Structure 1
Amino acid sequence: MLDEAEDERDDAAPIDMLEEYYAAHGWTHSRDDDEIVAKVKGSWAEYELRAIWRDDDSVLQFLAFPDVRVADERRAAIYETIGLVNEQLWIGHFELWSSSGILLYRHAAMIDSDEEATMSLAQAELLIESAIDECERFYPVFQFVLWGGKSPKDAIAAALIETQGEA
């Protein structure tokens, strides 16, 4: 989490706030008027984070790409896996783009706007960190199915074991 003094800054337009957040973390990013793309290194992979602002609808579409491509012959197993994984999510969802076989996490946030839509630093942090956390949490599940030959249920059981106590 960023320091509390930074959290007290004024709100900013959604893409502006995301850009500030990425810059504060030193993450490589590029920006157009209504879209921003960043790269962040996770435990399992480098994630591409993409946000697209739709001013007409006041919706921020947030996508996280965990660098997983699914071959045609593995799609049925991954679709089953996505269904089981999505049952465990409170916000956002995983999906598979049928045209390219790219796996991604997607979440849309409606940004309340009486006059001009703004996003707080806390909102930006929650959106970004929850997407990264879900990608990190479920990346091994998808890999177990794709490369380990496990069934979707077995992959979830193997990847999501709860640890008890402290080491």
Structure 2
Amino acid sequence: MMDRDGFTIGEQEAEPIDMLAAYFEAHEWAFEHVGEDEIVARHRGSWTEYEVRAIWRDDDMVLQLLVLPDIRVADDKRIAICETIALINEQLWLGHFELWSASSTLLFRHGALLGPSGSLTLDQAQLLVESAIDECERFYPVFQFVLWGGKTPLEAMAASMIETHGEA
């Protein structure tokens, strides 16, 4: 895989945005560079399409990863979704869900402190992106039960978090 400047990216480390571009390219995801320090990709999950946005903050050595499921929250559901987000965030070890007040956009956000090297490996890129999408996939039904199923946040969590055993 090659970065924007034509350098080979293997198991070595690379600048975070270049490594994410290599990851997206390897998985044949549509993506674009929004700027030197930002990249946006699209991925079709089991439930919906996700926008995956990464922003590199060189001053802090932090890679911020945002995953936006195709969910908009109507004004009359904002309080219920905020309660749902609070219940879900109690279950998470890394990252969190939030609701942007200006646009009523639901998203998952995670910040990765990359340290003094400011670089990312392909394995790290894969882990960051896949774990964020996995959390969105895991909790998508909870949000849908609240938004469209008429369930309270507690009912939605209980209905969605049932673990199945065996195979059908």
Using the TM superposition, give the Cα deviation of residue 112 of structure 1 relative to its aligned residue in structure 2, in angstroms: 1.1
Residue equivalent to 1:19: 21
| 2:119 partner SS | coil
Question: What is the letter of the counterpart of residue 47 of structure 1?
Answer: Y
Q: Report the Cα distance in structure 1 between the residues aligned to 2:79 and 2:12, rounded to whole angstroms.
A: 47
Residue equivalent to 2:77: 74
Residue equivalent to 2:55: 52
Q: Report the Cα distance in structure 2 between the residues aligned to 1:57 and 1:11, rounded to whole angstroms.
A: 18
| 1:104 partner SS | strand
Output the aligned Cα RMSD. Answer: 1.2
Question: What is the letter of the counterpart of residue 155 of structure 1?
Answer: A
Q: Report the Cα distance in structure 2 between the residues aligned to 1:127 and 1:92, rounded to whole angstroms.
A: 10
Q: Which structure 2 segments of 5+ residues have no match?
A: 1-8
Q: Does 1:152 align with 2:153?
A: yes
Using the TM superposition, give the Cα deviation of residue 165 of structure 1 relative to its aligned residue in structure 2, in angstroms: 2.1
Using the TM superposition, give the Cα deviation of residue 9 of structure 1 relative to its aligned residue in structure 2, in angstroms: 1.8
Q: Report the Cα distance in structure 1 between the residues aligned to 2:163 and 2:148, rounded to whole angstroms.
A: 23
Q: Report the Cα distance in structure 2 between the residues aligned to 1:51 and 1:94, rounded to whole angstroms.
A: 16
Question: What is the letter of the counterpart of residue 12 of structure 1?
Answer: A
Question: What is the letter of the counterpart of residue 93 of structure 1?
Answer: H
Q: Deviations over 1:82-141 (max 9, x none)?
A: 00000001100000001110000000000111xx41101111011000010000000010
Residue equivalent to 2:4: none
Using the TM superposition, give the Cα deviation of residue 166 of structure 1 relative to its aligned residue in structure 2, in angstroms: 2.8
Using the TM superposition, give the Cα deviation of residue 8 of structure 1 relative to its aligned residue in structure 2, in angstroms: 6.0
Question: What is the letter of the counterpart of residue 40 of structure 1?
Answer: H
Q: Which structure 1 segments of 5+ residues have no match?
A: 1-6
TM-score (norm 1): 0.93
Q: Report the Cα distance in structure 2 between the residues aligned to 1:27 and 1:59, rounded to whole angstroms.
A: 23
Q: Report the Cα distance in structure 2 between the residues aligned to 1:132 and 1:122, rounded to whole angstroms.
A: 15
Q: 1:87 aligns with which of 63, 87, 90?
A: 90
| 2:99 partner SS | strand
Residue equivalent to 2:130: 129
Residue equivalent to 1:4: none
Using the TM superposition, give the Cα deviation of residue 13 of structure 1 relative to its aligned residue in structure 2, in angstroms: 0.5
Question: What is the letter of the counterpart of residue 18 of structure 2?
Answer: D
Q: Deviations over 1:30-68 (max 9, x none)?
A: 012000000000000000000000001100010000011
| 1:49 partner SS | strand
Q: 1:99 aligns with which of 102, 108, 114?
A: 102
Q: Percent identity?
A: 64
